[in-house]
Structure 1
Amino acid sequence: MKAVRLHTYHQQPVIEDVPEPTAKEPFDVVVKVGGAGVCRTDLHIIEQQWEEKSGVTLPYTIGHENAGWVHEVGSAVTNVAVGDTVILHPTPTCGLCHACRAGQDMHCINSTFPGINADGGMAEYLLTSARACIKLDPNTQPEDVAALADAGITAYHAVRKAVPLLYPGTTCVVNGAGGLGHIGIQSLTALTAARVIVVDRNPDALTLAAELGADETVVADGKHVAAVLDLTGGNGAEVVLDFVAEQGAQQDAFAMTQRNGSHFVIGYGSNIDIPTIDIISTERNVIGNLVGTYNDLVELMVLAQAGKVTLHTKKYPLDAALDALADLAAGKVRGRAILTP
Structure 2
Amino acid sequence: MKAGRIHAYHEPIHIDDINEPRIEKDTDVIVKIGGAGVCRTDLHIIEGIWKDALGNPPLPYTIGHENAGWIEAVGSGITHLKKGDPVILHPLMSCGLCPACRAGRDMYCTQGHFPGLDGTDGGYAEYLKTSVRSVIPLAPGTDPVPLAPFADAGITAYHAVKKLVPLTAPGTTVAVIGIGGLGHFAVQILRALTPATVIAIDTQSQRLDFATEIGAHHAVLAGSDGGVGGVKRIAPNGVDIVIDFVGEHQTPAAGVNMLAKGGTYSVVGYGGEVQVPTLEFVNREINIVGNLVGTYNELAELMELNRQGKVVISAQQFPLADAPQVMEMLDRGEIKGRAILIP
Query: TM-score per shorter chain, which class?
Result: over 0.9
Q: Can you list the C-alpha shifts for 1:36-93, whole angstroms capped at 9, x where unaligned? A: 0000000000000000111211110000000000111111123322211000001011
Specify the alignment match of 1:112 in structure 2.
113
- Ranges of 4+ aligned residues in structure 1 off by more than 2 Å: none
* 8 Å Cα contact 1:67-1:145 kept in structure 2: yes
* 8 Å Cα contact 1:197-1:215 kept in structure 2: yes
Match of 2:235 among 232, 237, 240: 232
Question: Which secondary structure does the structure 1 equivalent of 2:284 belong to?
Answer: coil
Structure 1 residue 280: deviation in Å? 2.2
Letter in 2 for 1:231: I
Letter in 1 for 2:229: A
Q: Distance in 2 between matches of 1:153 and 1:278?
A: 31
Structure 1 residue 173: deviation in Å? 0.4
Specify the alignment match of 1:42 in structure 2.
42
* 8 Å Cα contact 1:187-1:309 kept in structure 2: yes
Q: Distance in 2 between matches of 1:177 and 1:78?
A: 41
Specify the alignment match of 2:99 in structure 1.
98
Structure 1 residue 14: deviation in Å? 0.3
Q: Distance in 2 between matches of 1:306 and 1:241?
A: 25
Q: Can you list the C-alpha shifts for 1:236-255, whole angstroms capped at 9, x where unaligned? A: 11111101111111211111
Letter in 1 for 2:23: A
Specify the alignment match of 1:51 in structure 2.
51
Structure 1 residue 166: deviation in Å? 1.1
Q: Distance in 2 between matches of 1:280 and 1:28?
A: 50
Q: Distance in 2 between matches of 1:79 and 1:232?
A: 51
What CA RMSD, in Å, does the superposition of the two structures yield over aligned residues?
Answer: 0.9
Specify the alignment match of 2:73 in structure 1.
72
* 8 Å Cα contact 1:80-1:133 kept in structure 2: no
Q: Distance in 2 between matches of 1:289 and 1:72?
A: 34
Q: Can you list the C-alpha shifts for 1:201-227, whole angstroms capped at 9, x where unaligned? A: 111100010001111000001242022
Question: Which secondary structure does the structure 2 equivalent of 1:319 belong to?
Answer: helix
Letter in 1 for 2:45: I
Specify the alignment match of 1:124 in structure 2.
126
Structure 1 residue 94: deviation in Å? 1.2
Q: Distance in 1 between matches of 2:126 and 2:138?
A: 19
Unaligned runs of 5+ in 2: none
Q: Distance in 2 between matches of 1:263 and 1:49?
A: 23
Match of 2:311 among 305, 309, 312: 309
Specify the alignment match of 2:281 in structure 1.
279
Q: Distance in 2 between matches of 1:58 and 1:273?
A: 35
Q: Can you list the C-alpha shifts for 1:96-138, whole angstroms capped at 9, x where unaligned? A: 1110111101001111111111111000001111010000023
Question: Which secondary structure does the structure 2 equivalent of 1:281 belong to?
Answer: helix
Q: Share of identical aligned residues, percent? A: 51
Letter in 2 for 1:247: H
Specify the alignment match of 2:90 in structure 1.
89
Q: Can you list the C-alpha shifts for 1:123-177, whole angstroms capped at 9, x where unaligned? A: 0001111010000023222221000000000001101101001111100000111
Letter in 2 for 1:14: H
Q: Distance in 2 between matches of 1:13 and 1:46?
A: 8
Q: Is structure 2 residue 153 aligned with structure 1 residue 151?
A: yes
Q: TM-score, normalising length from structure 2?
A: 0.97
Specify the alignment match of 2:5 in structure 1.
5
Q: Distance in 1 between matches of 2:280 and 2:82?
A: 54
Q: Distance in 2 between matches of 1:79 and 1:37?
A: 26
Letter in 1 for 2:92: T
Unaligned runs of 5+ in 1: none
Q: Distance in 1 between matches of 2:69 and 2:311?
A: 19
Letter in 2 for 1:67: A
Q: Distance in 1 between matches of 2:197 and 2:157?
A: 17
